Amino acid sequence: MGNRPVISKEQILDAAYEIATTKGLGALSIRAVAAACGVAVGTVYNSYPTKSDLVNDVVGRFWQRAFSDRMGAVTAGGVAGLEEGGAGTTAHADAGSCASVQQADARAGDSCDFVEFCRQLAGEMARALEEFRSDFLDGLTALGAYDLAVARRREAESFAHARLGLQVALQRDPAVRRERLKGSLVPELLCDLVWETMIDAARHHKPLDETLFALLRIALYR
C-alpha cells in the first residue's frame, strides 16, 4: 500500500472555500472537497465530521476576508473591550485607541473619521463579492435546511462583530459631536442601521448610495 497523502484542516478548508467561491455553496460537499484535495472522503471527515462544520468555516472565512483590513485595525483598538464592558468601556479606549489605530490606518492613508471608515468598509465588501462569485450570498439558499441554519448562525456572528467594530470606529472619531449620540442616534442603533444598509446593498449587488454618508455627516458632525 502506498503512503496516504497528509493534509491539514487548513488545506481542506482552502479547497472547500475555492469550490464555494467559484461554483457556489450549493456545489460544496465532502466528496467534492475530497476529490479536490486528492484524498479519501474519510480523510476530510477526520477534520470535518459533517458538511455543516465545513459550511460553518467557509462562511466564516468569507466574511472575515470581506472586511479584514478595516475591522482588523479597529479590532486592535477596542472591539474586545466593547464586548466585555459595553459602550462605557469603549469610551475609555477612545483616548489611546485612535492613536494606535491611526498608525495602522496611516498605511492606507486613513484617519479616525467614522464616515470614511464606513465608506471603505463598504468598498471592501463590494470588492470581496467581485473577487469571488457575485451570487455567493444568494448561494446560501441552495443549502439544505440544517446547513442553511448553520451558515446563517455563523453569518450572524460575523455581523455582530462587524456592528461592534462600527461602534468602536464611531467612538474613536474625535470630531463626532457626542451630544448627538442619543435617542435614535445612540451608537448601537446608528451602527445597526449603517450595517444593514451595507448588507442590503451587497445582497442586491448595487453600490452603496452616497446619501447615507452625506446624512451621517449632517447628523454627527454639524
- DSSP-assigned letter for residue 208: P
**What is the average pLDDT across 39-60?**
91
Amino acid at 35: A
Long-range contacts (CB closer than 8 Å, 24 or more residues apart) made by 82-91: 82/164, 82/167, 82/168, 83/164, 87/167, 87/171, 87/187, 87/188, 90/167, 90/168, 90/171, 91/171
For position 114, what pLDDT does the model report? 94
Rounded percentage of the chain residues whose pLDDT exceeds 70: 70
Q: Domain limits of the chain?
A: 1-49, 64-221
Residue 210: CB atoms within 10 A of its CB come to 9
Which positions ≥6 away from 74 have C-beta within 8 Å?
A: 101, 117, 165, 168, 169, 172
pLDDT digits (tens, 9 = 90+) for 87-125: 444 444 444 444 444 444 443 345 689 999 898 888 877
pLDDT category of residue 142 using cuts at 50, 70 and 90: low
> So what CATH class is 1-49?
mainly alpha
**pLDDT, tens only, 4-19:** 567 999 999 999 999 9
Q: Are 12 and 33 in contact (CB under 8 A)?
A: yes
What is the C-alpha to C-alpha distance for residues 178 and 3, in angstroms, rounded to an integer?
65
* pTM > 0.75: yes or no: no
Q: Which of 189, 168, 69, 161 is nearest to 122 (CA)?
A: 69
pLDDT band for position 162 (cuts 50, 70, 90): confident
Average pLDDT rounded to a whole number, residues 185-198: 93
User: Which segment of 7-16, 22-31, 42-51, 179-188 scores lowest on mean pLDDT?
Assistant: 22-31
